[in-house]
Structure 1
């Protein structure tokens, strides 16, 4: 096999020629690579800082609500949304604020907060709780049709029993006892364990009157 040999001068000329041809692109590639690494680390740092800031806001909101200072908690919540609007903590804080408004008898602001959560696809894990609570607000406002519509379709995992029980309550308000009984029975079928929850559901089932099978007999 032939071996190509070069003296020092020839080797140096070939190296310089190679660098002239490819060196610039290699340097650019290295700059981009290191720039990408440092840029990603900077982005990670920014994300972590935003998460910590949102966590701090959430803790302050919790503390203020525990003291009954809803208006100040709302101020902190507004600041939180401006500083960390994409954080999941904003969704959790929305549920906190909405619950405080419900306890204070301010149903419409609570309903708006639940709707904000439902309109945010990034908060999909909170949609089950927000839908159920919004339906209960609509019930309290006398909008039974809206409450039932809010719980249309399949319930999210873990909410089957609660959704069925709520629908039973809405049907009861309307005087639709057969539908209420079916909904309560569905809730009972999805209930785990014993205790007051099962006893209360049985009371609700009994309040709908005799089952269809008993009427037929």
Structure 2
């Protein structure tokens, strides 16, 4: 567009200049306004689309909670709603169902991609479940490897208690005692798990 107005002209000249400017730039003005309105409507449409996608992801997730064997629904969630926030929770549900069916290999396939999830709490819980599965399968080294992650005060006691279980299963009694003692001191006294660890320690003495 041409310059809108030249400030060094007289008032009458400026009025005439405004009229000429509007006449010469009518098309550009209409297009600009249309684009502006289109952007607003486009943004609203995008928000509505996002909302509908979130509702769809939620419905698929709820269906999986009722029927965790519905792998087709899981694949739909994985392919179409990977960033919805429901996928990680759905993966944990399917892994739990695989464990219930004693399909530990399948459970590990579900859990392994979540072992380094951006959500620290999910990653820590997943690594504990992976370690527990390897323990159940008698793969003690893999079980310990799953727990060799960055320390986190909220999980240290749980991790060390599980390490004690792994060493005990592997008949490494001294190491089992070591990690049970660490866990006992790290877990809250109000936790029933502390009493369980105390029983385990007494059994080893």
**What TM-score do you get using the length of structure 2 for normalisation?**
0.80
Could you tell me how far 1:44 is from its partner in structure 2? 2.4
Q: Pick one of 164, 170, 176 that aligns with 1:174.
A: 170
Q: Point out the more displaced range, 82-91 or 192-201.
A: 192-201
Match of 2:47?
44
Q: Pick one of 59, 73, 76 that aligns with 1:76.
A: 73
SS of the residue corresponding to residue 187 of structure 2 reads coil
**Rounded Cα–Cα distance in structure 2 between residues aligned with 1:120 and 1:24:** 53
SS of the residue corresponding to residue 142 of structure 1 reads coil
**Rounded Cα–Cα distance in structure 1 between residues aligned with 2:173 and 2:103:** 31
CA 1:14 to 1:192, structure 2 compared with 1: closer, same or farther past 3 Å? same
**Rounded Cα–Cα distance in structure 2 between residues aligned with 1:102 and 1:24:** 67
The answer as to 2:90 corresponding to 1:85 is: no
**What TM-score do you get using the length of structure 1 for normalisation?**
0.76
Match of 2:60?
57
Cα offsets for 1:17-48 (capped at 9, x unmatched): 55589888877765565444444333322222
- Structure 2 unpaired stretches of 5+: 1-7
- Structure 1 unpaired stretches of 5+: 210-217
Could you tell me how far 1:137 is from its partner in structure 2? 0.8
**Rounded Cα–Cα distance in structure 1 between residues aligned with 2:189 and 2:29:** 66
**Rounded Cα–Cα distance in structure 2 between residues aligned with 1:47 and 1:208:** 57
**Rounded Cα–Cα distance in structure 1 between residues aligned with 2:154 and 2:93:** 20
Contact kept, 8 Å, 1:155 with 1:163, in 2: the verdict is no
Give the paired residue count: 198
Choose between structure 1 and 2: higher helix proportion. Answer: 1
Match of 2:11?
6
Match of 1:163?
159
